[in-house]
Amino acid sequence: MSAFLYNSVRFMLKPWRPKREIFHFVFSKAMTESSATKILFQLRKHIQEKPKVLMLSINSAYGDITQAQIVAEAFQQAAQNLDAPFYTFIDCYALGSAYYLASCGTEVYANPFSLIGEVQPSKKSIGFQNVLENLKINYRKSRRESILLDAFTKVSEKQLEFVNKELQTEFQFALDQIKQNRAGKIKKFEESKIYTAQQALENGLIDDICTFDEVLAKKYPKYKSRELTLYKDESSMIIVQGQLHLAIENLLTKFENNCQLFVNENAYHDIQEQISELLTNALNNIDIQQSAYDLMMDYLNDFIINSNKY
């Protein structure tokens, strides 16, 4: 009797929520492994509530096509299991891998002022050879030649050839998938072109020009939607930027206060360790948002310019 009473009270206290409603996911980050993991976690966490409709708003540019494929497949599979439509919305822009993700929707909508397209896979890599030369740091490694890019050595012809083949494979995969997703709808699609919403509509890249609220009011006026937003991790980004700035200031101060830096073996070793730690932290901890990436490059450029003075 006590167990029955306990379960009855627990049921009554549990907040009421419609069993089948609209789940609206909002994705406004660069497509990386980290951001893909977060949105997949949200999807798997809430999919057990069996929503009637899945909606995904996208405001993203470029990023990793592999992660976009993983996210797209997860949403499509979830929609299939739920027997629910999957709508995608382009808020401001969906470029590169972001448009590939958008094209996976049952129907694709775009804001009137959005930018769409330019499916051109790219690979970013920072080279620190000049930094090492300016600091007179010898970088050594003991291993067989690798086809993977190394930030501290010059890119070889073999590495360049491998990267180009990899990008071409990614490009062809993305192109084939987009054409398959928009089969019978795409009239013309120039891979390197950025389309306005009106141009995208005319060429079959999207189904209509309207906002999430307009579609909601038109198609599902009686259903309530739940918004599941992936907020940018601004706090951690600010912390890393601050650490980066302080580390560079510290290095510049050492240059300024010790003109015989490279004669002093201990100081030389210390500066080498700090440079290594600085670059490792910057690359590993910043979730490569374009703004943080640009800021990091500005800091490093200032560092190189100032280091030439001493």
Rounded (10°) angle between helices 33-46 and 65-82? 10
Residue 36 to residue 177: CA distance in whole angstroms:
19
Determine the pLDDT at residue 97: 87
Domains of the chain, residue spans:
16-123+171-230, 234-307
Percent of the chain with pLDDT over 90: 22
Q: What is the pLDDT of residues 259-301, one digit of tens each?
A: 544 445 555 556 556 655 555 555 544 444 444 444 555 555 5
Determine the pLDDT at residue 81: 93
- CATH class entry, domain 16-123+171-230: alpha beta
Determine the pLDDT at residue 122: 64
Residue 272 to residue 139: CA distance in whole angstroms:
10
Region 191-202: mean pLDDT is 89
| Widest pairwise Cα distance in the chain | 84
Burial zone of 296 (CB within 10 Å; 0-12 exposed, 13-18 middle, 19+ buried): buried
Least confident segment among 137-146, 152-161, 236-245, 298-307: 298-307
Q: Characterize the bridge pairing of strands 115-117 and 194-196.
A: antiparallel
DSSP states along the chain: -HHHHHHHHHHHHSPP--SS-EEEEEE-S-B-HHHHHHHHHHHHHHGGG--SEEEEEEEEESB-HHHHHHHHHHHHHHHHHHT--EEEEEEEEEETHHHHHHTTSSEEEE-TT-EEE-----------HHHHHHTTPPP---S---SS--TTSPPPHHHHHHHHHHHHHHHHHHHHHHHHHTTTT-S---TTPEEEHHHHHHTTSSSEE--HHHHHHHH-TT--EEEEEE---HHHHHHHHHHHHHHHHHHHHHHHH-TTTTT-HHHHHHHHHHHHHHHHHHHHHS---HHHHHHHHHHHHHHHHHHTT-
- Residue 86, pLDDT above cutoff 90: yes
Model pTM?
Answer: 0.62
Least confident segment among 16-30, 33-47, 117-131: 117-131
Residue 145, C-beta contacts closer than 8 angstroms, at least 6 positions apart? 156, 158
Region 22-37: mean pLDDT is 86
Determine the pLDDT at residue 287: 43
Residue 274, C-beta contacts closer than 8 angstroms, at least 6 positions apart? 247, 250, 251
- Residue 54, pLDDT above cutoff 50: yes
The b/e string for 52-85 (b: 16+ C-beta within 10 A; e otherwise) is bbbbbbbbbbbbbbebbbbbbebbbebbeebebb
Determine the pLDDT at residue 139: 59
129 compared with 260, residue with greater pLDDT? 129
- Residue 309, pLDDT above cutoff 50: no
